[in-house]
Amino acid sequence: MSSRRDFMGMALGGFSALGGLAALYAMKRSWDPLPSVKAAGFTTVDLSGAQENVLNVEKWRGKPIFVLKKSADMPSDDRDVVVGQDRYLVAIGLCTHLGCIPAYLPNDKIFHCACHGGEFDASGRQIFGPPPSPLVIPPFKIDGTQLVLGEEGPEYIKMKEAGVTA
């Protein structure tokens, strides 16, 4: 600190920087998703009417959720959601490349994404094109023949620990 003027300069600069940082924080928070958006909670899906190899699309947090009852000839996978005797694919229906919705082709038993040509099998695993990972499994809880999306049930936690949800 060589002079009073330097001190004044540093003090002004310091307080301005502090105020600037505070303002940046406020701006960042203003861009955050609103609490009402975040609270958009849970979706319950009834599985009792599901048919084999017919894709059901549900909506959860604005995203499409694929629910596919697997037929006997589809190989079982540790990503399967087992409800009673039935195996299901439950996944967020957004391509893991850039988020388009893949279409289900029941004859080929694959999902095909029209945006960049990515493909997934009936277990949601990527089999062709740019997708780097399988379709993401959303948090779920099995409740009888119902599925509660957004809540982490024991089956989901087990899958998550095994690292197969994404």
Please report, as ranges, the residues that interact with other proteins according to CB under 8 A.
28, 31-34, 37, 40, 57, 59, 61-64, 96-103, 113-117, 129-132
Phi, psi of 3 (to 5 degrees): -155, 170
Can you list the positions of beta strands (E) in the chain?
43-46, 55-60, 63-69, 81-83, 86-92, 103-105, 110-112, 119-121, 126-128, 140-143, 146-149
Q: How far is the CB of 84 from other proteins (least distance, A)?
A: 28
CB closer to other proteins out of 86 and 151 = 151
CB closer to other proteins out of 49 and 132 = 132
Q: How far is the CB of 101 from other proteins (least distance, A)?
A: 4
Q: How far is the CB of 16 from other proteins (least distance, A)?
A: 22
CB closer to other proteins out of 62 and 154 = 62
Residue 140 neighbours by CB distance under 10 Å: 25
